[in-house]
Amino acid sequence: MEGETVEGSRGQSRRLPDFLQSVNLKYVKLGYHYLITHLLTLLLIPLMVVILVEAGRTDPNDIRQLWLQLKYNLVSVLVFSAVLVFGSTVYIMKRGQPVYLVDYACYRPPDRLQARFTQFMEHSRLCGNFNESALEFQRKILERSGLGEETYVPDAMHYLPPRPSMAAARAEAEQVMFGAIDKLFRSTGVKPKDVGVLVVNCSLFNPTPSLSAMIVNRYKLRGNIRSFNLGGMGCSAGVIAIDLARDLLQVHRNTYAVVVSTENITQNWYFGNRKSMLIPNCLFRLGGSAVLLSNRNADRHRAKYRLIHIVRTHRGADDKAFRCVYQEQDDNGQIGVSLSKDLMAIAGDALKINITTLAPLVLPISEQLLFFATLVAKKLFNSKCKPYIPDFKLAFEHFCIHAGGRAVIDELEKNLQLQPIHVEASRMTLHRFGNTSSSSIWYELAYIEAKGRVSRGHRVWQIAFGSGFKCNSAVWQALRSVKQSPGGPWEDCIDRYPVEIHDGIPVSRNQELQQ
């Protein structure tokens, strides 16, 4: 018995632990990240200890001699001080004005404009413009799109037959823009006369007088306001508008900028049977946002975020990218927006370009070293070596991915190696409000705030895609723990979210279909 016990103990002593089971590799990576991030501090601590020990051993007479040398070299000290002051002054003057996001507002349409699936399909059938194949295609898109039953379409689309017109499109624009701006001025207490910059972006509707002129006239903004209209730039134009406002705030000091992002559905609803042009009918919904930016130091204490970076990139100038999302006319003369089958591939290429530019600006040095090492290894040793995907979760706490569709969100979740909670805001925004174009990233940020997830110092990455083909990013840093503003778009429904969605279909609806 004794021999068996010894042999058994020896057998156990020879066994090695299963490291894959006992060690979670993500903690190894976190340890590496912490080590590299604090490497300079870890190296300076022993150096400081040595300096303090040596200083304690220094003879007081040596210190007195050093002081006398400095005293008799007063000119050198003064020159050094002057150079230091001059350099500091130049640095402060050349450093850009900080841009603060004081607050923003998202338009919440009235419940009477909701378009439930059955209502949408019945309306499409009764209007008489679609054949059976087109109707079946729309039904399948709606069921798998990730949209819920509470999204909104404009007034003109609720009539039978629909009543699209220039007057109806202008009424839609006024309803969305004024609704968002009214809420913004009410929540911030800023007077319209204090606004020095106005930027409006709407891709498909550019009337005369312009949308910005409509806002200036409605709110009696001051006569010397710098107002701009951006058109034809697709769903990524919201970030472009923020970038333009930021540049203007660098020049015009001590003022506010209002950025309004929207899209117009009324005059761009497609009444034909080409399937690539029917997809926008099923995905795009009514919505808009208004953002208040400031370069006033007095607003820092009440602002929600500070703008850190903006990166704008194009996916080349080839025809495939250019015609990925575009407006065209079908064989029967019906005009609409067409989505190419190459959309996801083009979007992926544009994202790679954007990430390459943004990564050095936001990633910790640990991730940059890994990325560089993998790139060198790929070039020198093995051309088939997989490129290293930086862990953007180490740079950002929150992600606002443009809610353009379920496929876009799924692909970015997979390619950026995100967790479901990181894309929750995008999926829930698509479910509750649909694709609201350039304003969708603000509905997503409002969702994160309504959940109480934004704390002081957190970074938010807004990613938007648009025609052309463009991928634009904006990075914000929270200046305090942020709560949702009164009257936010999620105020009365946040407790119902998140909802469980499987293969684009909410689980609750899937159960209804099975019954």
Per-residue exposure over 88-118, b if at least 16 CB sit within 10 Å of its own CB, e if not = eeeeeeeeebbbbbbbbbbbbbeeebbbebe
Catalytic choice (273, 295, 431, 472): 431
3-class SS letters over 350-418 = HHHHHHHHHHHHHCCHHHHHHHHHHHHHHHHCCCCCCCCCCCHHHCCCEEEECCCCHHHHHHHHHHCCC
Whether 106 is a known active-site residue: answer no
Q: Which residue shows structure tokens 């894309």?
A: 423
Catalytic choice (314, 385, 458, 510): 314
Whether 458 is a known active-site residue: answer no
Q: Which residue shows structure tokens 């040095």?
A: 365
Instruction: Report yes or no: 290 and 184 within 8 Å, Cβ to Cβ.
Output: yes
Fill in the DSSP letter of residue 298.
Answer: G
Catalytic choice (201, 264, 295, 435): 435
Distance (Å, rounded) from C-alpha 465 to C-alpha 275? 22
- DSSP characters over 167-199: HHHHHHHHHHHHHHHHHHHHHH---GGGEEEEE
Whether 252 is a known active-site residue: answer no
Catalytic choice (201, 273, 402, 422): 402
Distance (Å, rounded) from C-alpha 376 to C-alpha 263? 44
**Nearest to 325, CA basis, from 285, 279, 282:** 279
295: phi then psi, degrees, rounded to nearest 5 = -115, 15
Whether 402 is a known active-site residue: answer yes
Whether 301 is a known active-site residue: answer no
Catalytic choice (235, 282, 400, 471): 235
Cβ atoms < 10 Å from Cβ of 15? 7
443: phi then psi, degrees, rounded to nearest 5 = -65, -35
Distance (Å, rounded) from C-alpha 270 to C-alpha 280? 8
Separation of first and last alpha carbons in the chain: 66
Whether 435 is a known active-site residue: answer yes
Catalytic choice (201, 268, 354, 398): 398
Residues labelled catalytic: 235, 314, 398, 402, 431, 435
